[in-house]
Amino acid sequence: MRRGLFVAPFDVLADPRLIGDLAADAEAAGWDGFFVWDHLRYSEPVQAIADPWICMAAIAMRTQRLVFGPMVTPLPRRRPQVLARQAASLAALSGDRLVLGFGIGDDWGAGEFGAFGDETDPKVRGRMLDEGLEVLTGLLSGEPVDHAGEHYTVREVAFLPAPSRPIPIWIAGRYPNRNPQRRAARFDGYFPIQLETPEQLAALRTEVTGDLVVDLQPDVDPAPWGDAGADWVLTRVGPYRIDLDAVRAIISAGP
């Protein structure tokens, strides 16, 4: 079992310089990973939000060992060709420590999709995610991509340089929804959100062959989840009323 931090870069943490500092502290304290949320808006009382991709550049520059990534990026609101270029650049910047987490996102609460005119139908976003993943992985391969689909078009384009090794992709979904799990079977890991018990995780372990990732509140013992088959257990930091001293204490205590 590997241990990571699952950090919402909100409010007091909405500063990429501070995120870089905390990531360096986390590496020194023995944590294995540092993953940041990807949002444009969030429900109250959250106000300030940092861009996760800028935060990840800071993490890459301030650390040598930590695995990091967006957890998770709603690919349906992004252009996969732009994201592929960003991902390849971050992989090079970090020495191939990047993991990409993807999902369809949510439009409840702050109305994060509808507020910007993005697609609000989750079924449509599911199709966009599948198609976007096809485009993105094709571009990251360094081979020519020729794709004309329902949502994306790429005409005989090859992106170079490709990452020196494939970037792992984890798929997130709300438990017990089966569609994300089926999608995750084509990639490298599954991040089931809102699991309630290690027993639920153990049942998933019999079906999931890639990395199985869970996030827990700081006061929850990770050991039973590791015993149930988690490859990664992430400690959640945020999203509401984040206290910087408490965050530093979580990090310095180590995994």
Query: Which residues lie across from 10 on neighbouring strands?
Result: 49
Structural domains in the chain (count)? 1
Cα angle 16-22-27, degrees, rounded to a multiple of 5: 125
- What domain range is 113 assigned to? 2-253
Q: How big is the chain, counted in residues?
A: 255
pLDDT of 110 > 80? The answer is no
pLDDT of 109 > 80? The answer is no
Nearest to 5 by CA among 42, 45, 48, 34: 34
Where residue 146 sits, what CATH number does that domain have? 3.20.20.30
Distance CA 132, CA 63 (A): 30
Nearest to 71 by CA among 255, 239, 242: 239
Distance CA 87, CA 91 (A): 6
Each residue's pLDDT tens digit, 149-162: 999 999 999 999 89
Q: What is the pTM of this model?
A: 0.96
Q: For position 30, what pLDDT does the model report? A: 98
Distance CA 4, CA 241 (A): 21
Q: How confident is the model at residue 108 (pLDDT cuts 50, 70, 90)?
A: confident
